[in-house]
Amino acid sequence: MGTREALAKKIAWISVISNIILTLGKIIIGWYGNSDAVFADGIHSAADVFASVIVLLVIKIANKPADKEHPYGHGKAEVIVSEIVGILLFLVSIYVVYEGLAGLFHEAESPNILAVWVAVFSFAAKVILYRSSLKVAEQNKSKAIEAIAFDHKADIVASIAAGIGVILSIIGARLDIPILLYGDKAASIFVAYLIFKISKEMLTEAFDILLERNINTETIQEYIAVINEFPEVKRIDRIRAREHGHYILVDLRISIDHFKTIKQGHDLARTIKRNLMDQHDNIREVLIHLNPYFPEEK
């Protein structure tokens, strides 16, 4: 098993185990402690468990090398996972906001103090999980691990919101301020918004990759700078690049002097490809088309 695949599986398994523990804790304490916000956060963690399991199932597929049927590799399997997780989070946000709004029209009760400690514990655990997952995702250019990291990120803010909501409700009960009793309900709605925001970001990125949107301008300019280091390249006619999961495919058209031999053109293209891949380790393939250049074309 490759290092990248092994790391991805390790992160996914850690996410599954931690989210199962947090899910049980939040749902049980949220229900027992009469906290809609903590209970909603538990539903979100349950969605995280499902997402992590999906990642585990698809990691091996995404890391398979290119074959006859899939000449560009299997990297987009990770993007599909990211999209599934995004859809799942969107559905969770709809459910949570519905429950929160419904609660505003009923008499509110003060949550148990246990709900606060669950939110605090969840916050601390998710900060650690988010930072470690994101670091591995960036190092390995993994959309699947990045999806897990974004799940943890959503949980961080959600735990803060849930904790604040519970505290406000407890204060409202002890100081006899009825409006503060609805702090827990309001927090659950805010949690739903945060979940929706994360799902929107994930779905937007996944759709862009699946539709083969060109990568960002800054990265394209970095590629152009590498190509312009070769004086033999008289003109860059076109450059395109698209993400294919955890790696990038580059299509390039350049013009060189018309009197260059096929071998000279081939050697130049091979050197440009090697330099691009050496300086950008997430590039998997560079396809270069050569055009003849005539001075009068200036």
Over residues 116-137, the pLDDT tens digits come to 888 888 889 889 988 888 888 8
If phi > 0 it is left, if psi is from -120 to 50 it is alpha, else beta; for residue 239 that is: beta
Phi–psi pair at 285, nearest 5 degrees: -150, 145
Which residue is listed with tokens 């790696």?
Answer: 247
The confidence score (pLDDT) of residue 132 equals 85
**Amino acid sitting at position 163:** G
Mean pLDDT of 89-100: 82
Cross-sheet strand order for the sheet of 248-257:
235-243, 248-257, 283-293
Q: Among residues 226, 244, 189, which one has the least CA distance to residue 76?
A: 244
Over residues 164-210, the pLDDT tens digits come to 888 888 888 888 888 888 888 888 888 788 778 878 887 887 777 66
Contacts of 204 (CB under 8 A, 6+ apart): none
CB 285 within 8 Å of CB 244: no
The confidence score (pLDDT) of residue 1 equals 47
Q: How far lies 59's CA from each of 15, 107, 245, in Å?
A: 14, 47, 11
Over residues 180-192, the pLDDT tens digits come to 888 888 888 887 8
Sign of CA dihedral 106, 107, 108, 112: negative
**Coil/strand/helix, residue 116:** helix
The confidence score (pLDDT) of residue 70 equals 65
The secondary structure of residue 295, as a DSSP letter, is G
Pairing outcome for strands 235-243 and 248-257: antiparallel
The confidence score (pLDDT) of residue 119 equals 84
Over residues 144-161, the pLDDT tens digits come to 677 778 778 877 877 888
Phi–psi pair at 134, nearest 5 degrees: -65, -40
**Coil/strand/helix, residue 14:** helix
Average pLDDT, the chain: 81
Structure tokens at 108: 């509110």
Model-level pTM greater than 0.85? no
Domains in the chain, CATH or no CATH each: 3-210 (1.20.1510.10), 217-297 (3.30.70.1350)
The span from the CA of 193 to the CA of 180, in Å, is 20
Over residues 33-81, the pLDDT tens digits come to 778 778 877 877 777 777 667 667 666 666 666 667 766 666 666 677 7
